[in-house]
Amino acid sequence: METVAVTSVLRGVRAWAAGRPWLFDAALGGGLTAFDVVTLAARDPAPGPAALALWGVQTVPLLWRRLRPLTVLAAMTVAFIAFEAADPVPGKTPGPYFLIFGVHAAARYAPAAASLAASGGALAGAVAVDLALGRSPGPRPDSLEPITATTFAVFLGVAWLLGHARRRIDADARRLRDLNAQLGDANARLRAERERNARQAVAAERARIARDLHDVVAHHVSAIAVQARSTEDVVHDDPALGRAGVARIAETADTALIEMRRILGLLDTGRDDGGAEPSLRGLGNLVEAAERAGCRVRADVDAEAPALPRAVQVSAYRIVQEALTNVLKHAGPTDVRVALRTAGASLVVEVGNGPAVPGRTPVPGSGRGLIGLRERVAAFDGTLRAGPDPAGGWLVRAELPLEGVR
């Protein structure tokens, strides 16, 4: 129990000293100075004030042991040598044991090479003065007397080793704190990067879904609008043909709803079930829808196209879909040619149409379709040209590089 109590007291003192270094140094320097003076004044006969001052001044420099450890050790050594040389106290005087505190401070707060040299110099100076004045016997390895050059060397050596060990412990602690701080910064940067990547992924997914929704809705609604106008023109004169037109409108609307549900299903499941993304094998559906709206479509697709990477097929499908949608919006029932061919390491997609039907009133658009086309082509570092065809009508031509695409 007593050992536990002493350990607790020592831990409390260390914690107090760590939080108040200057108060601790003041207590150490002032307390040792008072102890020096009191013990020397208790001698009989008592030394005079000058002797007390010379002896007590040895430990005063400890007040600055953290800032100037080597200077403190030098000052303490000079003070001891001055006291010994003045010989103010008859008989034997205490040896340079107070230098232990100076050596410990030098080893703890100064580089090892400098503190070792300073400690060796302090030991040599103190021992030389003591030997020269005959105040301590010569070095004897077999002697354990309190006041000998051998014991001086042992005590100062142990003090240096303890101080140096504490310096290494403090350096390791600082290095660990720095590593922890660096790890904390790295973790914070990683968290920020993950959050940024997550936001970018969400934004990219929203943009993709928005493009797909636009492609689906615009295509089918445009087809419905064209079919509705055609049906309106014939419903009175040919009811049977009008009923067929209404049926095509219903079928197109059902198809649009199915595709919209598939796309919106991604928002609920958070995964792709394979039905939401089209492929070039479904181009026949686009051609058929355009033909039902009155267009005369000629399609020319390379046999290798359906085996291209999935990402390329999705983009090519959407490009054709958007181009056909624009034909229905702006030109109406007209001649259309669709061509997909591989040229070197690229897939070329062309959709051209003839001139608009006379008296055709274009369906208003939002402009998002062309923006979506450019985004899809830019994702492959490809090129897009959309403009009037020299042969008449309109031409959309996209080139999608295949190199590096999976």
Q: What pLDDT is recorded for position 19? A: 53
Q: What pLDDT is recorded for position 282? A: 86
User: DSSP letters of 6-38?
Assistant: HHHHHHHHHHHHHH-HHHHHHHHHHHHHHHHHH
* Domains within the chain, CATH numbers bracketed: 2-136 (no CATH), 211-401 (3.30.565.10)
User: DSSP state, 273?
Assistant: -
pTM above 0.85, yes or no: no
Q: Position of tokens 């979506």?
A: 372
User: DSSP letters of 326-387?
Assistant: HIIIII-S-EEEEEEEEETTEEEEEEEE-PPPTT--PPP--SHHHHHHHHHHHTTT-EEEEE
Q: What pLDDT is recorded for position 137? A: 61
Nearest alpha-carbon partner for 160 in 113, 223, 201, 103:
103
Contact 300, 337 (CB under 8 A): yes
Q: What pLDDT is recorded for position 274? A: 47
Q: What pLDDT is recorded for position 272? A: 47
CA angle 329, 331, 334 (to 5 degrees): 125
Q: What is the sign of the dihedral through the CA atoms of 37, 40, 46 and 49?
A: negative
Q: What pLDDT is recorded for position 249? A: 73
Q: What pLDDT is recorded for position 76? A: 83
Q: Return the axis-axis angle of helices 112-133 and 149-234, rounded to nearest 10°.
A: 170
Q: How far apart are CA 123 and CA 103, in angstroms?
A: 9
Contact 117, 166 (CB under 8 A): no
Q: How far apart are CA 32 and CA 27, in angstroms?
A: 8
- Taking residue 396's Cβ as centre, other Cβ atoms within 10 Å add up to 23
Q: What pLDDT is recorded for position 95? A: 65
Q: Which residue positions in the chain have pLDDT lower than 70?
A: 1-51, 87-95, 134-148, 201-202, 205-206, 208-210, 212-220, 233-235, 254, 256-277, 363-368, 404-406
Structure tokens at 260: 């919209």
Q: What pLDDT is recorded for position 271? A: 47
By CB atoms closer than 10 A (0-12, 13-18, 19+), residue 157 is: middle
Q: What pLDDT is recorded for position 205? A: 61
Q: What pLDDT is recorded for position 219? A: 67
